[in-house]
Amino acid sequence: MLDVAVFSFLFLYMKSLHLCMQIHETAFIVSTYRSYHESVSKDIYAKLWNNPKTEALIPDILNSVSSKEAILHSLRNRFFYENLQSFFKKNSGGTLINFGAGFSMYQFLLDPTVSTIEIDKEDIIEYKRKRIHFWTIEGKLPKRDTSYISFDFNHDSAETMVNELKKMIHQKPIFIVLEGVLFFLDQKVTHKLFKVFEDIQSAGDLVGSVSYIPEIEKTNVYKRLLHYFNSHNSTNDSFAHQTIPTSYYTQINGYRLKEHTHEYELSKLYTPDAQIDNPNDILNEHLYLLERV
Protein backbone atom coordinates (compact mmCIF):
# COMPACT_ATOMS: atom_id res chain seq x y z
CA MET A 1 0.00 0.00 0.00
CA LEU A 2 0.98 3.51 -0.27
CA ASP A 3 1.75 3.96 3.35
CA VAL A 4 4.33 1.44 2.51
CA ALA A 5 5.76 3.23 -0.46
CA VAL A 6 6.56 6.35 1.37
CA PHE A 7 7.50 4.89 4.68
CA SER A 8 11.20 5.19 5.23
CA PHE A 9 12.18 7.73 2.71
CA LEU A 10 9.96 10.70 3.36
CA PHE A 11 10.82 12.62 6.47
CA LEU A 12 9.34 16.06 6.52
CA TYR A 13 10.36 18.78 8.85
CA MET A 14 6.99 19.80 10.16
CA LYS A 15 7.82 23.47 10.14
CA SER A 16 4.35 24.28 8.90
CA LEU A 17 3.19 22.88 12.24
CA HIS A 18 5.81 24.89 14.09
CA LEU A 19 7.68 21.76 14.97
CA CYS A 20 11.29 21.15 14.17
CA MET A 21 11.53 17.40 14.13
CA GLN A 22 11.37 14.64 11.61
CA ILE A 23 8.32 12.50 11.27
CA HIS A 24 7.52 9.49 9.16
CA GLU A 25 5.30 10.94 6.52
CA THR A 26 3.60 7.65 5.89
CA ALA A 27 1.49 7.98 9.03
CA PHE A 28 0.29 11.39 7.84
CA ILE A 29 -0.56 10.02 4.41
CA VAL A 30 -2.68 7.16 5.76
CA SER A 31 -4.48 9.52 8.09
CA THR A 32 -5.16 11.95 5.24
CA TYR A 33 -6.61 9.08 3.18
CA ARG A 34 -9.04 8.37 6.01
CA SER A 35 -10.10 11.99 6.07
CA TYR A 36 -10.93 11.86 2.32
CA HIS A 37 -13.52 9.11 2.92
CA GLU A 38 -14.92 9.86 6.34
CA SER A 39 -18.21 8.08 5.72
CA VAL A 40 -16.28 4.90 4.91
CA SER A 41 -13.48 5.12 7.49
CA LYS A 42 -15.73 6.58 10.22
CA ASP A 43 -12.66 8.50 11.37
CA ILE A 44 -14.15 11.96 11.88
CA TYR A 45 -10.96 13.12 13.61
CA ALA A 46 -8.43 12.14 10.93
CA LYS A 47 -8.65 15.57 9.33
CA LEU A 48 -7.04 17.14 12.39
CA TRP A 49 -3.70 15.79 11.09
CA ASN A 50 -4.13 17.10 7.54
CA ASN A 51 -1.44 19.48 6.37
CA PRO A 52 -0.48 20.99 3.00
CA LYS A 53 2.81 19.10 2.65
CA THR A 54 1.15 15.72 2.91
CA GLU A 55 -1.73 16.71 0.65
CA ALA A 56 0.75 17.82 -2.00
CA LEU A 57 2.27 14.32 -2.12
CA ILE A 58 -0.93 12.37 -2.51
CA PRO A 59 -1.95 13.04 -6.15
CA ASP A 60 1.34 11.68 -7.46
CA ILE A 61 1.00 8.54 -5.37
CA LEU A 62 -2.56 7.92 -6.51
CA ASN A 63 -1.54 8.48 -10.15
CA SER A 64 1.62 6.45 -10.23
CA VAL A 65 0.68 3.53 -7.99
CA SER A 66 -3.10 3.13 -7.64
CA SER A 67 -6.05 5.50 -7.55
CA LYS A 68 -7.81 3.27 -5.00
CA GLU A 69 -5.34 3.71 -2.16
CA ALA A 70 -7.32 6.27 -0.19
CA ILE A 71 -10.51 4.24 -0.23
CA LEU A 72 -8.68 1.01 0.62
CA HIS A 73 -7.08 2.56 3.69
CA SER A 74 -10.48 3.86 4.72
CA LEU A 75 -11.94 0.37 4.38
CA ARG A 76 -9.12 -0.99 6.52
CA ASN A 77 -9.92 1.53 9.22
CA ARG A 78 -13.61 0.63 8.96
CA PHE A 79 -12.83 -3.03 9.57
CA PHE A 80 -11.00 -2.24 12.81
CA TYR A 81 -13.51 0.40 13.84
CA GLU A 82 -16.38 -2.13 13.60
CA ASN A 83 -14.46 -4.87 15.39
CA LEU A 84 -13.20 -2.60 18.16
CA GLN A 85 -16.71 -1.24 18.72
CA SER A 86 -18.23 -4.68 19.06
CA PHE A 87 -15.42 -6.09 21.23
CA PHE A 88 -15.45 -3.25 23.76
CA LYS A 89 -19.26 -3.06 23.84
CA LYS A 90 -19.47 -6.75 24.59
CA ASN A 91 -16.87 -6.40 27.34
CA SER A 92 -17.92 -3.01 28.79
CA GLY A 93 -14.47 -1.50 28.40
CA GLY A 94 -10.92 -2.85 28.37
CA THR A 95 -7.65 -1.79 26.75
CA LEU A 96 -6.79 -1.10 23.14
CA ILE A 97 -3.07 -1.44 22.43
CA ASN A 98 -2.10 -0.02 19.06
CA PHE A 99 1.34 -1.21 17.83
CA GLY A 100 2.67 1.25 15.21
CA ALA A 101 -0.28 3.52 15.96
CA GLY A 102 0.78 6.39 13.71
CA PHE A 103 -2.05 8.92 13.77
CA SER A 104 -4.89 6.43 14.30
CA MET A 105 -7.76 7.96 16.28
CA TYR A 106 -9.79 4.90 17.26
CA GLN A 107 -9.96 5.74 20.97
CA PHE A 108 -11.87 8.94 20.33
CA LEU A 109 -14.56 6.97 18.54
CA LEU A 110 -14.84 4.31 21.24
CA ASP A 111 -16.64 4.42 24.56
CA PRO A 112 -14.81 6.53 27.21
CA THR A 113 -14.49 3.43 29.42
CA VAL A 114 -11.86 2.06 27.02
CA SER A 115 -8.19 2.76 27.88
CA THR A 116 -5.67 3.02 25.08
CA ILE A 117 -1.93 2.44 24.88
CA GLU A 118 -0.30 3.84 21.78
CA ILE A 119 3.08 2.56 20.62
CA ASP A 120 5.29 3.90 17.86
CA LYS A 121 8.77 5.26 17.30
CA GLU A 122 9.74 8.12 19.54
CA ASP A 123 9.29 11.01 17.11
CA ILE A 124 5.73 10.00 16.21
CA ILE A 125 4.75 9.26 19.80
CA GLU A 126 6.06 12.52 21.21
CA TYR A 127 4.47 14.56 18.45
CA LYS A 128 1.15 12.75 18.79
CA ARG A 129 1.09 13.05 22.57
CA LYS A 130 1.55 16.83 22.37
CA ARG A 131 -1.03 17.39 19.65
CA ILE A 132 -3.66 15.21 21.34
CA HIS A 133 -3.12 17.02 24.64
CA PHE A 134 -3.51 20.38 22.93
CA TRP A 135 -6.62 19.38 20.93
CA THR A 136 -8.25 17.91 24.03
CA ILE A 137 -7.74 21.15 25.94
CA GLU A 138 -9.13 23.05 22.97
CA GLY A 139 -12.22 20.82 23.00
CA LYS A 140 -11.56 19.44 19.53
CA LEU A 141 -11.24 15.93 20.95
CA PRO A 142 -13.19 14.21 23.71
CA LYS A 143 -11.20 13.18 26.80
CA ARG A 144 -9.85 9.66 26.72
CA ASP A 145 -7.55 7.61 28.95
CA THR A 146 -4.57 7.27 26.60
CA SER A 147 -0.97 6.38 27.45
CA TYR A 148 1.95 6.56 25.06
CA ILE A 149 5.17 4.58 24.85
CA SER A 150 7.88 4.50 22.23
CA PHE A 151 9.46 1.27 21.09
CA ASP A 152 11.45 0.38 18.05
CA PHE A 153 10.20 -3.09 17.25
CA ASN A 154 13.45 -3.90 15.45
CA HIS A 155 15.66 -3.03 18.40
CA ASP A 156 13.70 -3.39 21.64
CA SER A 157 13.60 -6.89 23.10
CA ALA A 158 10.40 -8.82 23.70
CA GLU A 159 11.24 -8.79 27.42
CA THR A 160 11.51 -4.98 27.51
CA MET A 161 8.23 -4.56 25.68
CA VAL A 162 6.39 -7.07 27.87
CA ASN A 163 7.71 -5.59 31.13
CA GLU A 164 6.88 -2.03 30.15
CA LEU A 165 3.44 -2.88 28.83
CA LYS A 166 2.47 -4.99 31.83
CA LYS A 167 3.08 -1.94 34.04
CA MET A 168 0.76 0.13 31.83
CA ILE A 169 -2.19 -2.25 31.44
CA HIS A 170 -4.82 -1.51 34.07
CA GLN A 171 -7.90 -3.09 32.61
CA LYS A 172 -8.79 -6.10 30.58
CA PRO A 173 -9.70 -7.53 28.10
CA ILE A 174 -7.13 -6.40 25.55
CA PHE A 175 -7.54 -5.78 21.82
CA ILE A 176 -4.20 -5.35 20.02
CA VAL A 177 -4.08 -3.61 16.64
CA LEU A 178 -1.13 -4.11 14.28
CA GLU A 179 -2.13 -2.14 11.21
CA GLY A 180 0.02 -0.95 8.33
CA VAL A 181 3.24 -2.04 10.04
CA LEU A 182 4.21 -5.59 9.08
CA PHE A 183 5.38 -4.67 5.57
CA PHE A 184 8.24 -2.80 7.21
CA LEU A 185 9.31 -5.58 9.52
CA ASP A 186 10.99 -8.91 8.87
CA GLN A 187 9.87 -12.36 9.90
CA LYS A 188 12.00 -12.46 13.03
CA VAL A 189 10.60 -9.19 14.34
CA THR A 190 7.06 -10.28 13.43
CA HIS A 191 7.60 -13.43 15.44
CA LYS A 192 8.93 -11.37 18.36
CA LEU A 193 5.82 -9.18 18.34
CA PHE A 194 3.48 -12.15 18.44
CA LYS A 195 5.49 -13.50 21.39
CA VAL A 196 4.91 -10.14 23.14
CA PHE A 197 1.19 -10.38 22.37
CA GLU A 198 1.03 -13.92 23.74
CA ASP A 199 2.70 -12.81 26.98
CA ILE A 200 0.45 -9.83 27.67
CA GLN A 201 -2.90 -11.23 26.54
CA SER A 202 -5.31 -13.71 28.14
CA ALA A 203 -7.85 -16.13 26.69
CA GLY A 204 -10.55 -14.34 24.69
CA ASP A 205 -8.41 -11.27 23.91
CA LEU A 206 -7.98 -10.30 20.24
CA VAL A 207 -5.23 -9.27 17.84
CA GLY A 208 -6.10 -7.53 14.57
CA SER A 209 -3.32 -7.71 12.01
CA VAL A 210 -2.81 -6.53 8.42
CA SER A 211 -0.38 -7.82 5.79
CA TYR A 212 0.01 -8.65 2.11
CA ILE A 213 -0.11 -12.23 0.89
CA PRO A 214 2.92 -13.33 -1.18
CA GLU A 215 0.80 -13.69 -4.36
CA ILE A 216 0.67 -9.89 -4.61
CA GLU A 217 4.34 -9.84 -5.61
CA LYS A 218 3.35 -10.95 -9.14
CA THR A 219 0.91 -8.08 -9.73
CA ASN A 220 1.69 -4.93 -11.69
CA VAL A 221 0.27 -2.69 -9.00
CA TYR A 222 2.68 -4.12 -6.43
CA LYS A 223 5.57 -3.71 -8.88
CA ARG A 224 4.54 -0.07 -9.30
CA LEU A 225 4.54 0.31 -5.53
CA LEU A 226 8.08 -1.03 -5.22
CA HIS A 227 9.20 1.08 -8.17
CA TYR A 228 7.68 4.16 -6.56
CA PHE A 229 9.42 3.35 -3.33
CA ASN A 230 12.79 2.69 -4.96
CA SER A 231 12.68 5.87 -7.00
CA HIS A 232 11.82 8.00 -3.99
CA ASN A 233 14.04 6.43 -1.40
CA SER A 234 16.63 9.03 -0.66
CA THR A 235 17.60 7.89 2.81
CA ASN A 236 19.11 4.46 2.07
CA ASP A 237 16.73 3.08 4.63
CA SER A 238 16.07 -0.53 3.91
CA PHE A 239 13.18 -2.61 5.13
CA ALA A 240 11.79 -6.02 4.56
CA HIS A 241 8.91 -5.57 2.08
CA GLN A 242 7.39 -8.41 4.01
CA THR A 243 4.49 -10.46 2.68
CA ILE A 244 2.91 -13.17 4.83
CA PRO A 245 0.92 -16.24 3.79
CA THR A 246 -2.42 -16.72 5.52
CA SER A 247 -1.12 -20.08 6.77
CA TYR A 248 1.26 -18.16 9.09
CA TYR A 249 -1.73 -16.87 11.03
CA THR A 250 -3.08 -20.38 11.54
CA GLN A 251 0.12 -21.49 13.28
CA ILE A 252 0.85 -18.74 15.81
CA ASN A 253 1.43 -20.04 19.31
CA GLY A 254 -1.43 -19.24 21.66
CA TYR A 255 -3.84 -17.98 18.98
CA ARG A 256 -6.60 -19.22 16.72
CA LEU A 257 -7.52 -17.48 13.50
CA LYS A 258 -11.02 -16.17 14.12
CA GLU A 259 -11.60 -14.13 10.98
CA HIS A 260 -9.85 -13.45 7.69
CA THR A 261 -10.91 -10.96 5.04
CA HIS A 262 -9.30 -8.54 2.59
CA GLU A 263 -9.93 -5.05 1.32
CA TYR A 264 -11.44 -6.22 -1.98
CA GLU A 265 -14.05 -8.16 -0.03
CA LEU A 266 -14.67 -5.18 2.27
CA SER A 267 -15.18 -2.91 -0.75
CA LYS A 268 -18.09 -5.09 -1.87
CA LEU A 269 -19.63 -4.68 1.57
CA TYR A 270 -19.07 -0.98 2.28
CA THR A 271 -18.35 0.71 -1.08
CA PRO A 272 -20.06 -1.29 -3.85
CA ASP A 273 -19.94 1.78 -6.13
CA ALA A 274 -16.18 2.26 -5.83
CA GLN A 275 -15.50 0.53 -9.18
CA ILE A 276 -13.01 -1.92 -7.81
CA ASP A 277 -13.42 -4.77 -10.25
CA ASN A 278 -10.42 -7.00 -9.77
CA PRO A 279 -8.45 -7.70 -6.57
CA ASN A 280 -5.27 -8.01 -8.65
CA ASP A 281 -5.52 -4.39 -9.78
CA ILE A 282 -5.32 -2.98 -6.25
CA LEU A 283 -2.93 -3.17 -3.30
CA ASN A 284 -5.24 -5.60 -1.60
CA GLU A 285 -4.21 -6.00 2.02
CA HIS A 286 -5.46 -8.97 4.02
CA LEU A 287 -6.89 -8.49 7.49
CA TYR A 288 -6.90 -11.06 10.27
CA LEU A 289 -8.53 -11.33 13.68
CA LEU A 290 -6.80 -13.73 16.04
CA GLU A 291 -8.17 -14.88 19.35
CA ARG A 292 -5.92 -15.70 22.30
CA VAL A 293 -6.72 -19.23 23.45
3-state helix, strand, coil in the chain (%, to 5): 50, 15, 35
Q: With respect to ligand SAM, which residue has the nearer C-beta, 2 or 247?
A: 2
CB of 258 to ligand SAM, least distance (A): 20
Beta strands in 212-285 (DSSP E): 255-262
- The span from the CA of 78 to the CA of 44, in Å, is 12
State which H helix or E strand residue 83 sits in: helix 69-91
Q: Does 124 bind ligand SAM (CB under 6 A)?
A: yes
CA distance 113 to 145: 8
Distances in Å between the Cα of 144 and the Cα atoms of 106, 135, 154, 167, 168 are 11, 12, 29, 19, 15
67 binds ligand SAM (CB under 6 A): no
Out of 5, 14, 30, 225, the residue judged to bind ligand SAM by CB under 6 A: 30
Interface with ligand SAM, residue 66, by CB under 6 A = no
Nearer to ligand SAM, 7 or 264 (CB): 7
Residue 102 lies near ligand SAM (rule: CB under 6 A): yes
B/e letters for 243-262, b = 16+ CB within 10 Å, e = fewer, are bbeeebbeebebbebeeeeb
Q: How many residues bind ligand SAM (CB under 6 A)?
A: 21
- Burial of 168-185, coded b for 16+ CB within 10 Å and e otherwise, reads ebeeebbbbbbbbbbbbb
**Residue number, nearest CB to ligand SAM:** 102
Q: Does 120 bind ligand SAM (CB under 6 A)?
A: yes
Q: Report the residue number, 30 or 158, with the smaller CB distance to ligand SAM.
A: 30
Is residue 26 within the footprint of ligand SAM (CB under 6 A)? yes
* Binding to ligand SAM in span 154-213, by CB under 6 A: 154, 179-181, 184
List the Cα angle 165/171/177 in 5-degree steps. Answer: 60
Q: How far is the CB of 3 from ligand SAM (least distance, A)?
A: 3
Stretch that binds ligand SAM, among 62-70, 95-103, 195-203, 249-257 (CB under 6 A): 95-103
Among 60, 152, 217, 237, binds ligand SAM (CB under 6 A): 152
The one-letter code for the residue type at 200 is: I
116 DSSP β-pair partners: 96, 146
Cβ nearer to ligand SAM, comparing 49 with 264: 49
Nearest distance from C-beta of residue 100 to ligand SAM, angstroms: 3
Stretch of residues binding ligand SAM (CB under 6 A), selected from 85-93, 149-157, 194-202, 213-221: 149-157
The verdict on 46 binding ligand SAM (CB under 6 A) reads no
Asked if 43 is part of the footprint of ligand SAM (rule: CB under 6 A), the reply reads no
**Angle CA 55–102–215, to nearest 5:** 85
Interface contacts to ligand SAM, rule CB under 6 A: 3, 24, 26-27, 30-31, 100-102, 104, 120-121, 124, 151-154, 179-181, 184
